[in-house]
Amino acid sequence: MWKHVLLLLATVAAFAVSLVMLQQVLGPGSPWMGLMVMLCLLGTARFADPICQLRMPWALRAVRPWELNGDFSERLLVPQFGGLLRTTPLRLLNPEVYVSRRDPVRLVRQLEAAEASHFWATLVLIPWQVWCAISGRWGIFALFLVIQLLGNIYPILHLRLARGRLERVIRRQQTRTGPVVATTAR
């Protein structure tokens, strides 16, 4: 555990120094600071994962039936986005969320933690997007919108779809065999 703590502290320190240096170059009012803060949050959440996993806000935690509906996800091409993630090096950004012979309860927690990190990253970038819109920086606003969609919204939709499907499988197993208990120690 102490290795994870040291790695997290080193990561936070490196991100803090990077943000200070970037602020000195770009200035505190630069919209690019928002993008860096978002990326630092995602990186910090990834390194913090073995110690403390982010959670979705209570009101948003449950996957709704319409999110699992094939029409909704198919129209938005969420399964195709998931296929892109699985078949490219993007898979290496968070290999913990892929199905293998691992404990399904632990995998659901990993999926929710990844989803939560993208949720909070989305919220972090929104003020800079609003500022770009108010100040008339429409090119940067449009770029940030694309980054939000491809870097946060689509990953959230894909992770919710995967988590909802896996939770459904776990519920089926529980009705047949009793509670599914995490077998892997953290």
Max mean pLDDT among 46-50, 60-64, 143-147 falls in 143-147
Q: Which amino acid does the sequence have at 112? A: E
Query: If you average pLDDT over residues 50-55, what whole number do you get?
Result: 88
The pLDDT of residue 185 is 43
Q: What residue segments make up the domains of the chain, in order of their start? A: 56-177
Contact 129, 141 (CB under 8 A): yes
How far is Cα 8 from Cα 3, in angstroms, rounded to an integer? 9
Give how far the C-alpha of residue 96 lies from the chain's centroid of Cα atoms, to the nearest Å.
12
**Helices 78-86 and 154-177 meet at what angle, rounded to 10?**
90
Each residue of 18-44: pLDDT tens digit? 999 999 999 877 889 999 999 999 999
Each residue of 158-172: pLDDT tens digit? 999 988 888 888 888
